[in-house]
Structure 1
Amino acid sequence: MEVILREDVEKVGAGGEVVDVADGYARNFLFPRGLAEKATKAKIQEVKAAQKAKEKAKAENREAAQAQAEKLESEKFEIAVKAGEEGRLFGSVSTHDIADKVEAAGYEIDRKKIDLDENIKDLGAHKVTVKLFEDIAAEITVNVVAKEEE
């Protein structure tokens, strides 16, 4: 029996897929739990149209992420913080600080997508990776400088 999965089902398929399963499995497991619905020609056409729209949106997002990555890599971001002697910071520069600085420059990024093993604790230039899309990442330069005392 052909069914359209509403959700991911382990060892069967992903949500939105049209799969062929045993009649009893569909009637006794998938349908009662709301995991699938019977595949009709009209519903299969709907699923195909939705998949095309999803693929088109994904392609557009990929292009936008690629363009944003190129722009981000060409810029340098400077963060001024209080520092002691020998270039050690009082505190540290976190992903939150980096995200704020990048957003202030006009880019929209999620701080959870900034790949920073541990907070920056030294002055100087640091390379930081920002994941923008599934396989697209930008390596930005964050220059940490000492804040001038007033």
Structure 2
Amino acid sequence: MPQTELILLQRVEHLGQMGDVVRVKPGYARNYLLPQGRALRANAQNRARFETERAQLEAQNIKRREEAERLAERMHGLSVTIIRQAGDSGSLYGSVTTRDIAQAATEAGLTIGRQQVELDQPIKVLGLHDARVALHPEVSIGVTVNVARSVEEAERQARGETIGEEDEDEVETFGAEVESDETPAEDAQTEA
């Protein structure tokens, strides 16, 4: 399969550092790296241009990384709450997406795009989940995503209470009351 040679203009995770010449599939280059300004095609003209602008690009990268590090320190331990409908078992009707997390983080004071949010797996159940926000290719922070049915439930989850057990206790108590009501009724029928 043909590959395209590119010069990276910034660090790209799982690919390389700034200035590296890498070979990637044409679609990855055409649809992601080139439009986002993360790379240049590796031809003679672009190689010369990169070498003349290298110091400036490195200085810009260092400045952006320092800004991201300051922001990461300020936003350390960020937790966002997302209210969703869910079934009795705690399964969501749908899932929480990177767009939902980015919107909740923006409301909490951290303006980010959905492309910056990284999830290990889709969020499809109630509870506390971990997500990662890439502020810079070399700086990321952890964000706790609290998915609940209501604000009160989210507060209980944040304190470490398990939501499902309380609901089960209420069901057991209700069941015990029904059983005790049936027993006197049966005794009355037996006596009559």
Equivalent-residue separation in structure 2 for 1:84 and 1:9 (angstroms): 53
Equivalent-residue separation in structure 2 for 1:147 and 1:132 (angstroms): 29
Provide the residue aligned with 2:86 in structure 1.
83
Which digits, 9 at most, give the CA deviation of each residue in 1:89-130, with x for residues without a partner?
A: 111110010000011122121211211244211111101011
The percent of aligned pairs where both chains have the same amino acid is 31
Contact 1:88–1:121 (8 Å) recurs in 2: yes
The residue type paired with residue 143 of structure 2 is I
The residue type paired with residue 47 of structure 2 is A
Equivalent-residue separation in structure 2 for 1:102 and 1:138 (angstroms): 12
Provide the residue aligned with 2:188 in structure 1.
none
Provide the residue aligned with 1:72 in structure 2.
75
The residue type paired with residue 94 of structure 2 is G
Equivalent-residue separation in structure 1 for 2:94 and 2:54 (angstroms): 48
Structure 1 residues 15 and 138: CA distance shift in structure 2, 3 A: farther
Q: Does 1:137 align with 2:140?
A: yes
Of 29, 44, 47, the match for 1:14: 47
Provide the residue aligned with 1:105 in structure 2.
108
Which digits, 9 at most, give the CA deviation of each residue in 1:28-66, with x for residues without a partner?
A: xxxxxxxxxxxxxxxxxxx3xx44333222111001111
Scaled by the length of structure 2, the TM-score of the pair is 0.51
Scaled by the length of structure 1, the TM-score of the pair is 0.64
Of 142, 146, 149, the match for 2:149: 146
Higher-RCO chain (CA-CA 8 Å, sequence separation at least 6): 1
Structure 1 residues 8 and 125: CA distance shift in structure 2, 3 A: same
Unaligned runs of 5+ in 1: 1-6, 19-46
Say which one has the larger Rg: 2
Q: How many aligned residue pairs are there?
A: 112
CA RMSD of aligned residues (A): 2.4
In proportion to residue count, which structure has more strand? 1
In proportion to residue count, which structure has more helix? 2
Q: CA deviation at 1:15?
A: 5.4
